[in-house]
Structure 1
Amino acid sequence: MRIALLTYSTRPRGGVVHTLALAEALAAAGAEVTVWTLARGGGFFRPVAAGVRQELVPFPDVPGEPVGARILRSIALLRDAFRPGDYDIVHAQDCISANAVDRCVRTVHHLDQFTTPELAACHERAIVRPFAHVTVSAAVAAELRAGWGLAATVIPNGVDAARFAAATPSRSDRYVLSVGGIEPRKGSIDLLAAYAAARRALPELKLVIAGGETLFDYRDYRAAWEERAAALGVVPEVLGPIPHDELPPLVAGAAAFAFPSTKEGFGLAALEALAAGVPVVVRDLPVLREVFGAAVRYGHDPATLGAALVEAVRGGPVHSALPFGYTWEAAARRHLALYETLN
C-alpha cells in the first residue's frame, strides 16, 4: 500500500511529531510511506528512519507576511507540488495539508476557533471536505459528531516511552517544566499565576518553558504574558525550541510537569513526562480525564493548578505504566486496518 502522510512543517509541533512517528511505524509494518511537508527552516527537526520517503516542499520566509497570507501561500505551494496519483491513501494531518489536496483522510488532533478569516475558512474546509476522519481521542470524536455530524475512527497516539524513561536529568535545579511555548491554547497566562501560587509554598522552585515553534502570530498574547509575569513578580526561564536529543533529559530533571492547556486532543508531552517519572499536573478537561485517569493531578484554574503543583513537587517521582500502553506499532496497525476499508 502506497501511503502519503501530509503535514505543514518540519519543526517540532505535536502534529509533526505524530506524523513522523506514525510514518516510521507504518513503514516498519511493511507499507510504502512518503511524508510530504513544507520545509519551514530546512529538514525535519530530527532524523527520520530510512524506510520513510520525504518530499520537502521549499517554503521561504516572507518578512512581514500576515498570518492569513501565509496560510494561503502554504496551501498553494503544497497543492502545486503534491502528486496524488502516486498514492493509494492520502492522509492529511492538519488543516493546511487537508486544504492542499482534493480527497483525503484527515486526522483531527484537536478543534480550534480562529479569528483570522483565512484560517477560520481553512479549519472549516479541512473538517467538512475529507471523506474519512481519524481522531486521537474519543473526546475529539464526540466534538466532531456534535458540531458537524461526522463519525471518526479513534486511534490514540503512540508514546516513545522508553526514550523518556531512560533519560538522565540534564540539570540539578528544582523546576516546573512546561513544553509547548507561550500561546493561548497552552494556558500560558494561567500557568504564570499557578506558578506564582506554588512558589509561595516552594520559594526555590523555578518555572522553565520549552518549545514554541508555531505558524501563528502570538505577539500580542506574548506581550500580555510578559505584563502578567511582571505584575506577579515571576521571571520564567524561556528556552524556546529544544533540540530533539536534549528534550528527554530536560523533561526527566523536572520536579513537576505543568500542562494547563485550554484545548488538547491527547496530551502527548504530558505522557512523555510520566514516562520519565515526572509528576504531571493538567487542566481538568474531558479529553485529559479520558487519557490520564488517576495518573495525574488536576486543576481548573490558577489557584487549583498551583495547589496541585505543590502536591506534585512534594510527592516526588511517579511510576506509571500508562505511557507504555500507547505504542506507535499499535497505532500503525489500526491505521492500516482503516486504510484497507477505504482503499
Structure 2
Amino acid sequence: MRVLHIITGLGVGGAEQQLRLLLRHLPARCDVITLTHPGRVADGLTADGVRVTDLAMGGNRDIGALFRLARHIRAGRYDVVHTHLYRACVYGRIAARLAGVRAVVATEHSLGAQQLEGRTLNAGIRALYLATERLGRATVAVSPTVAGLLRGWGVPGRRIRVVPNGIDACRFRFDEVRRKEARAFYRLPQDAYVVGCVGRIVPGKRFEVAVRALALLPADVRLLLIGAGPEQRTLQHVAGELGVADRMLMTGELPCPPEPLPDAPDLPSVLSALDALAAPAMEETFGLAVLEALAAGLPVLYTSAPALADLPAQAAPRARRVTGGAGDYARELLRLRAEGTGERAVPDAVRHYSIEHTARQLMDVYTAVLSGHDLEASPS
C-alpha cells in the first residue's frame, strides 16, 4: 500500500511529531508533502528514510500550489492520501480528487469548541471545512471529544473514526542520570521543586496561569516553559512584573529522540528533570503533553485533556483536573509537593495509548476506505 501524507508544515509541534512517530510504525510505504515550512520534523523524517517534499506554498491564495499538489499525487500513484491540519486538509482533499484518488483520509488534530489550530472559529472556516470534508472518505478524530464536535458540525457519523494519538512510552521513562544532567544544563538546583509546562507558547495554552502561580509559591520552586512561540515576550514581561523572572526559564523547542540536539537535552530528559507538569489550557484536542508527562511518572495538573476525560479516573491516579486560575494551580502544586514525589510509576492511561495500537487502527481505516466501506465513530 502506498500512502501520501500531506501536512501544513513540519516545524516542531504535536501533530507534526505525531506524524513522524506514526510513520515509524505504519506497515505501508509512506511519503510526505509539506505545504510550507519544512522544519526540524522534516529533517527527522528524512533521517528516518521518508521522502519529504516541500510544496513551497506561498499562502492561502497560492492556487498554483493546488495543481502542483495534484501532479505530485498523480505521479506517485498513491492508494491513499492522508491529510493533517486545516490547510492541508482543504487543499489535499481537492488535489486528491483532481488526481483521481478517492481514498482520502483526514486526521483532525486540533479542533476545539471555539478554536481550530489556534484560530477562532467562524462561519467561513466551518463552511470551507465541511465543503471539502465531503470530498474525503474518512475523518479521523483523535478523541471521542473531537468526534462529538465533528458530528455537531454536521459530519456524518459513518465517516468518522476515533483513532487516538499514540505514544512511545519507553522513550519517556524516568531516568535519574538524565534528570541530573538536564538540571545541570539549565542550572537548576538539584533540590529545587521544578514545575514544567510543555507546548507552543501561545495564548491558548494559558501558560501565564503557571507564571502567576509561581509568584504564589516558595522561593525554591522553579518553572520551566518547554517550547517556543509568540507569547514568550509577554510571559517574560509578566514574570518580571511579578518578581519571578529569575525563577522561570524557557527552553525553546526541544527535539524528541532519537536525535537530541548536540548541545541540549531532549524532551524526555527534561521531563525527567521535572517534579510536576502543569497544563492550564482551557481547550485541548487530545492532551499529548499530559500523556508524555505521565509516561515519565510525573504528577500532572491539567484543565483540559480529552485523552484522560475519556478514561476512568483510576487510569491516571496522579492526574488531577484544575478548573480555576493561578491560585488554584498554586494550591494544588503545594499539595503535590507535600505529598512527595513517590515512585515514578507509569499509569494505565499511558499503556492505553500505545503508538503500535494507533498504527493498527489507522491501517484498518485505510483498508475500509479502499474497499469503499463507511466508518462508524468508535471508542479508542
The two structures share one fold, judged by TM-score above 0.5: yes
Give CA deviations for 1:109-142 in whole Å, capped at 9, x if unaligned.
1225379799985565345412221111101111
2:85 is the counterpart of 1:94: yes
Query: SS of 2:50's equivalent?
Result: strand
Measure the CA separation in 1 of the matches of 2:145 and 2:139: 14
Segments of structure 2 that go 5 or more residues without pairing to the other structure are 97-103, 184-189, 261-265, 371-380
Measure the CA separation in 2 of the matches of 1:87 and 1:56: 15
TM-score by length of 2: 0.75
Counterpart in the other structure of 2:171: 163
Measure the CA separation in 1 of the matches of 2:54 and 2:233: 33
Query: SS of 1:178's equivalent?
Result: strand
2:154 is the counterpart of 1:148: yes
Measure the CA separation in 2 of the matches of 1:230 and 1:43: 31
* CA 166–207 in structure 1, closer or farther in 2 if over 3 Å, else same: closer
* AA of the residue aligned to 1:211: G
TM-score by length of 1: 0.82
Query: SS of 1:3's equivalent?
Result: strand
2:62 is the counterpart of 1:56: no
Structure number with larger C-alpha Rg? 2
8 Å CA contact 1:12, 1:45 repeated in 2: no
Query: SS of 1:100's equivalent?
Result: helix
Counterpart in the other structure of 2:239: 229
Measure the CA separation in 2 of the matches of 1:292 and 1:45: 36
* AA of the residue aligned to 2:252: G
Deviation of 1:14 (Å) = 0.4
Measure the CA separation in 1 of the matches of 2:169 and 2:193: 23
Counterpart in the other structure of 1:33: 30
2:224 is the counterpart of 1:208: yes
Deviation of 1:51 (Å) = 7.1
* AA of the residue aligned to 2:255: P
Deviates more, 1:314-323 or 1:329-338: 314-323
* AA of the residue aligned to 2:132: R
The correspondence of residues 241-260 of structure 1 with structure 2, limited to 5 A, is 241-244=253-256, 245=260, 246-260=266-280
Measure the CA separation in 2 of the matches of 1:266 and 1:225: 24
8 Å CA contact 2:5, 2:81 repeated in 1: yes
2:260 is the counterpart of 1:261: no
* AA of the residue aligned to 1:250: V
* CA 158–203 in structure 1, closer or farther in 2 if over 3 Å, else same: same
8 Å CA contact 2:143, 2:306 repeated in 1: no
Measure the CA separation in 2 of the matches of 1:123 and 1:16: 23
* CA 305–284 in structure 1, closer or farther in 2 if over 3 Å, else same: farther
Counterpart in the other structure of 1:138: 144
Counterpart in the other structure of 1:19: 19
Measure the CA separation in 2 of the matches of 1:51 and 1:230: 42
Counterpart in the other structure of 2:68: 80
Measure the CA separation in 1 of the matches of 2:238 and 2:253: 22
| Cα root mean square deviation, aligned | 3.0
Deviates more, 1:185-194 or 1:123-132: 123-132
Query: SS of 1:33's equivalent?
Result: strand
Deviation of 1:149 (Å) = 4.1
* CA 286–118 in structure 1, closer or farther in 2 if over 3 Å, else same: closer
* CA 177–110 in structure 1, closer or farther in 2 if over 3 Å, else same: same
Deviation of 1:9 (Å) = 2.1
Counterpart in the other structure of 1:63: none
8 Å CA contact 1:72, 1:118 repeated in 2: no
1:304 to 324, 328, 337: 328
8 Å CA contact 1:5, 1:23 repeated in 2: no
Deviation of 1:49 (Å) = 7.9
* CA 259–7 in structure 1, closer or farther in 2 if over 3 Å, else same: same
Segments of structure 1 that go 5 or more residues without pairing to the other structure are 61-68
* CA 122–38 in structure 1, closer or farther in 2 if over 3 Å, else same: same
* CA 42–153 in structure 1, closer or farther in 2 if over 3 Å, else same: closer
8 Å CA contact 1:39, 1:56 repeated in 2: no
8 Å CA contact 1:9, 1:39 repeated in 2: yes
